[in-house]
């Protein structure tokens, strides 16, 4: 799945069918920034080199990450995390999860499925997707406003701390719950909620 994601301030400004440069211009305008002030989040993969080059040519900042594009897509919705646009190609299930979370946060997400072969194309058809290569809006992916997102950190990332063992042998985890734009952050020790 080819993906582009932004937070609430840039909602309705992205278009998966135009260039990244044009998307950066539209998002910069929505955010009241210059393109050179944007940070574009891209997974550190060889397949994304053209995107990385395009960001550098435009004078914006590239923020590379290794894994977990769901949390990096969500990062675009948090002002305290430096990231204005997530762009790249990755797993479709992760794209659906990211779209649901961004919908809860008022952000935006667009995608295009990229079947690698005829078998994957046929699988899309069997799943009821009549045109697997058509652009998908956040509303196409998440057809209801009655959605929520829940995550627990396993490894530390931009939104959640990973699992930690305490000196006393207890296990500390952190979870995030987003329902209807309301977000709650929880910490647990051995599955016991800490206030």
- The domain total for the chain is 2
Q: Same structural domain for residues 133 and 159?
A: no
Read off the CATH number of the domain in which 14 is found. 3.40.190.90
What's the pTM? 0.89
Fill in the DSSP letter of residue 3.
Answer: E
Q: Are residues 116 and 49 in the same domain?
A: yes
Residues 86 and 7 in one domain: yes
Residue 68 has which token pair?
A: 């977990």
Phi, psi of 65 (to 5 degrees): -135, 160
Listed residues 144, 162, 183: the one ending a domain: 144
122 and 186 inside one domain: no
DSSP string, 135-189: EE-HHHHS--S--EEEEE-SS--SS----EE-TTS-EEEEEEEEETTEEEEEEEE
Summarize pLDDT for 17-57 with one digit per residue, the tens: 999 999 999 999 999 999 999 999 999 999 999 999 999 99
Residues 78 and 43 in one domain: yes
Q: How many CB atoms lie within 10 A of CB 72?
A: 25
Do both 87 and 135 map to the same domain? yes
DSSP assignment of 104-118, as one string?
Answer: HHT-EEEEE---SSH
Contacts of 194 (CB under 8 A, 6+ apart): 186, 187, 188
Q: pLDDT of the chain along its 195 residues, tens only? A: 999 999 999 999 999 999 999 999 999 999 999 999 999 999 999 999 999 999 999 999 999 999 889 999 999 999 899 999 999 999 999 999 999 999 999 999 999 999 989 999 999 999 888 899 899 999 999 999 888 899 988 888 888 888 988 888 788 888 888 887 777 777 766 655 554
User: Do both 129 and 174 map to the same domain?
Assistant: no
67 and 94 part of one domain: yes
Of 144, 159, 183, the last residue of a domain is: 144
Residues 65 and 18 in one domain: yes
Torsion of CA 23, 25, 31, 35, to 10 degrees: 120
Asked whether residue 137 falls in the same domain as residue 76, the answer is yes
> Rounded CA gap, 156 and 163, in Å?
8
Same domain (yes/no): 130, 175: no
Residues 83 and 44 in one domain: yes
Domain coverage including residue 64? 2-144
């Amino acid at each position: 799945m080819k993906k582009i994601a932004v937070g609430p301030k840039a909602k309705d400004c992205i278009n998966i069918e135009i260039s990244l440069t044009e998307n950066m211009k539209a998002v910069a305008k929505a955010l009241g920034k210059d393109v050179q002030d944007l940070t574009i989040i891209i997974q550190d993969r060889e397949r994304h080199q053209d995107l990385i080059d395009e960001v550098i040519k435009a004078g914006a900042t590239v923020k590379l990450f290794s894994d977990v594009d769901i949390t990096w897509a969500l990062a675009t919705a948090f002002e305290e995390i430096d990231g204005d646009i997530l762009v790249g190609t990755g797993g479709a299930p992760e794209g659906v999860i990211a779209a649901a979370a961004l919908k809860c946060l008022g952000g935006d997400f667009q995608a295009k499925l990229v079947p690698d072969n005829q078998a994957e194309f046929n699988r899309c058809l069997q799943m009821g997707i009549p045109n697997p290569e058509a652009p998908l809006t956040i509303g196409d992916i998440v057809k209801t406003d009655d959605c929520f997102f829940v995550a627990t950190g396993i490894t530390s990332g931009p939104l959640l701390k990973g699992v930690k063992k305490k000196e006393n042998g207890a296990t500390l985890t952190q979870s995030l719950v987003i329902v209807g734009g309301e977000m709650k952050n929880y910490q647990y020790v051995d599955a016991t909620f800490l206030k």
